[in-house]
Amino acid sequence: MSVFQAQKTALITGAASGIGFAAAKLCRSRGMHLALLDIDAVHLRQAQEELATVNPSLKTESYQIDVGDKNQWRKVVDQIKSAFTHVDLVLLNAARQQRAQSQYEGKLKPWADVESWKQTFDTNVFGTLNGVEAVLPLLLSSTTSKSIVITGSKQGITNPPGASTPAYNASKAAIKNLTEHLAHDLRSDPATAHISTHLFIPGWTWTGFMGNVGPTHEDTVTKMSGAWYPSQAAEVLVDGVEKGSFYIFCPDGDTDWALDQARMQWANDDMIEGRPAISRWETSWKERADEGIRADAVRRRT
């Protein structure tokens, strides 16, 4: 049974903008109560006010939180338990992409700024773990169908290089691994088998990382032509959960599923074929990688 139903409750982190806000709008359109969490108090308040007007008979509560802080999670969950009779959907979507600051430039930059790694992992990894620990008791309060959706990234799979990306890529690779284990553990125990777990993997989406900050109206947002709107990604998320998919990959205007498959296959084959790490971007391999990925994508489309 789908969790996206009237009178169900969704708890969403990173709800003040981007995919989190778009998912909240979709949940509200299904008649769901909303617990909105974000670190951005100003935009969180705006999101709450806008969503509350859609159907004033439904509950719309907001909670400012730094997801990397376990104590804040405890306080917020206590407040949620007081405000809502149950929680049915948990979308752990909050993330950051911290740019390294150091005396080095270019490719050496991230390796001289451990603090940027810590800040990235505090939000992207430990923020998610804190959320899982805090909300599991809410999902165990009954045996009706529940869902946990955790937002990953294709960068945690294909691992593209760049001065600002190693920490983010590593954090999202950790998210992939921990979500796989969480799904296995929950479905393997009869006491928790009613909780489905899903890894949502967006494509190129015009979110706060791209400057689309706050609960914006997409018809007023100027974006690059290849990117998707957050609402498009949110629709794929809902469809994937309702189909029971664990890996929920989201395309975009530039990348279809066949190209995603080919890129992931190439990245995984670096280990199997003994190629250099992330060979797709290695000077001596780049041309062969481009040709191989393109040919594989064409084959997959036929």
**Residue 249 phi, psi dihedral angles, 5° rounding:** -85, 140
31 DSSP assignment: T
Contact 90, 128 (CB under 8 A): no
Write the pLDDT tens digit of every residue in 208-217.
666 667 777 8
Confidence of residue 267 (pLDDT cuts 50, 70, 90): very high
Q: How far apart are CA 18 and CA 129, in angstroms?
A: 21
Q: What angle separates helix 114-124 from helix 126-139, to the nearest 10 degrees?
A: 10
Mean pLDDT for all residues in the chain: 93
| pLDDT at residue 207, as a whole number | 78
Inter-helix orientation angle 126-139/166-187, to 10°: 20
pTM of the model: 0.94
Measure the CA–CA gap between 248 and 144, rounded to whole angstroms.
22
Distance CA 89, CA 234 (A): 14
pLDDT for 210 equals 64
Structure token pair of residue 242: 């309702």
Pair of tokens at residue 113: 């700024």
Q: Where in the chain is the domain with CATH 3.40.50.720?
A: 9-253
- 146 CB-contact burial (10 Å; exposed 0-12 / middle 13-18 / buried 19+): buried
Express each pLDDT in 14-47 by its tens digit: 999 999 999 999 999 999 999 999 999 999 999 9
* Residue found under tokens 């990306």: 165
**pLDDT at residue 99 in the model:** 66
CATH of domain 9-253: 3.40.50.720
> What's the pLDDT tens digit per position in 6-19?
999 999 999 999 99
CB of 32 closer than 8 Å to CB of 5: yes
Helix (H, G, I), strand (E, B) or coil at 91: strand
Q: pLDDT, tens digit, for every residue of 80-124? A: 999 999 999 999 999 987 665 656 666 777 777 788 899 999 999
What residues does 228 pair with on adjacent strands?
Answer: 205
What percent of the chain is predicted at pLDDT more than 90?
82
Can you tell me the distance from the alpha carbon of 230 to that of 129, in angstroms, rounded to the nearest whole number?
24
